[in-house]
Amino acid sequence: TLTGGTDQNYTITLVNGTLTIGKKEVTITADNKSKTYGEVNPTLTFSYDGLVNGDTKVTNEPSISTTATASSNVGTYPITLTGGMDQNYTITMVNGTLTVTKATLKIQANAHSKIFGSSDPELTFIATGFKGTDNITSLTGKLSREAGELVGSYKIVLGTLIPSNNYEVEYFSAQFEIIPAELITISDHELITTPWSVSPSLPINLSVVTADGQVVQLPVTWDQTPLNIFKRGAYFLTGKLTLPSGILNPAELMATVEVNVLAKPAPQDVILSNNDFDPDPANYFQEIGSFTVIDPIDNVHSITLLPGAGDNEHFEVKSGILFWSSADEVSGKTEFTVVIQVADRDGNVIEKQFTINRGRTDIMELEIFNSFTPNGDGINDTWGVPDLRYYIGVRVQVFDRNSERMFYTEDADVRWDGTYKGKEMPVGTYFWVVEVIETGIIRRGILTILKD
């Protein structure tokens, strides 16, 4: 509208004009929101951009909504603006986003244990933080533990246990203990029978039972000290178990097994290689012959004389050889009986009698020396006929030239030293007479005493 206006030169005509006011552009933007899975939706809001002249809102504000609910899964959901009007504004509406984030699920593993050698128990846990109707069934997989089967402590880990995508896990570990098993029983092994002299086949493993009921095969080392495979009978052996690190033997139990060594047949025979011998007056210990035991199973035997049997007192057996070992000449006897006892290592004993023939030189063939030198030099100082000891009833006499008897004895082991009544006889010729009453034979000869 125009008013007033003058000029002396002009006639003024005022013509009114029109002021056109256009709508202001305003933007209404839905505010982005977020929440944790399972929570109620937050209050939805929006913001203005472009209001003027002190305006704080449009006349008819838009409505705001989202498709997300309290049970919506993790993800993003639109926040939508609808409606809204104002005569002074041209309204542009911008939708927003509601983001649903993962809830925290706390999983606390329970501590577990087992006895060495047994199977692992199921690993359990406590889970807290489920939302809505969710529960433990929404989890898949299972816990696991660090590898190992020796006695000790192992960490329980999450393993394959996972929740739905709506949760992130806060995991709290626990320990899995493997504790030693305790041995309570060792199984008895059946009787073992072995032929004589054959080492038995002893078990290398035995079944044992632990306190928790496990049946385990364990190595065993046998003490075979009591066993004598060369002697029949029953033997009880003990064995020490080799324990793994996870099995204890607090009672110090020992394995036992009975071994029966079967009997051996007795030796079949014993043979003497020679049963004749000629006596040696200068040697009371004479070898006669060796024994051979006939035994197809064993070659170790004890060969002894049966005490008190036959003429055993005159003999001796050493290293399987028969010896004459008597200083008693047993005059007049030429046939002797010995009884031999043979024992094998199994305790079998056989006895056998042998006849031993002792030869003796015929009286007429006896060597009788015709001189000696009683000069005290220790060589040929005496004279005698020792071979007569094997005859019964002997007389040995020495006479001088005058037929006076210088020496007399009935003991063949007594010798003449060349003296008579304590005096040395002179060098010269003497006469000897040897008589054997057993045979009735008499021999005579010359004896010379020499000094050089």
Q: Is the pLDDT of residue 51 over 80?
A: yes
Kindly list the structural domains of the chain, giving each domain's residue range(s) and its CATH number in brackets, ordered by start: 24-101 (2.60.40), 104-179 (3.10.430), 182-261 (2.60.40), 269-358 (2.60.40.60), 363-449 (2.60.40)
CA pair distance 388, 318, nearest whole angstrom:
29
pLDDT, residue 359, reads 85
Q: Is the pLDDT of residue 332 over 80?
A: no
Question: Under a CB-based contact definition with an 8 Å cutoff, are residues 16 and 38 in contact?
Answer: no
Q: Is 280 helix (H, G, I), strand (E, B) or coil?
A: strand
Question: Under a CB-based contact definition with an 8 Å cutoff, are residues 76 and 10 in contact?
Answer: no
User: What does the pLDDT average to over 8-34?
Assistant: 93
CA pair distance 321, 275, nearest whole angstrom:
11
pLDDT band at 97 (very low <50, low <70, confident <90, very high): very high
* Closest C-alpha to 235, from 247, 225, 250, 246: 225
Phi/psi of residue 114, each to 5°?
-150, 165
Average of per-residue pLDDT values in the chain: 94
CA pair distance 404, 374, nearest whole angstrom:
20
Q: Is the pLDDT of residue 2 over 80?
A: yes
Residues counted in the chain: 452
Q: Is 426 helix (H, G, I), strand (E, B) or coil?
A: coil
pLDDT digits (tens, 9 = 90+) for 299-325: 999 999 999 999 999 999 999 999 999
pLDDT, residue 20, reads 86
pLDDT digits (tens, 9 = 90+) for 194-243: 999 999 999 999 999 999 999 999 999 999 999 999 999 999 999 999 99
pLDDT digits (tens, 9 = 90+) for 341-393: 999 999 999 999 999 999 887 888 888 999 999 998 889 999 999 889 888 89
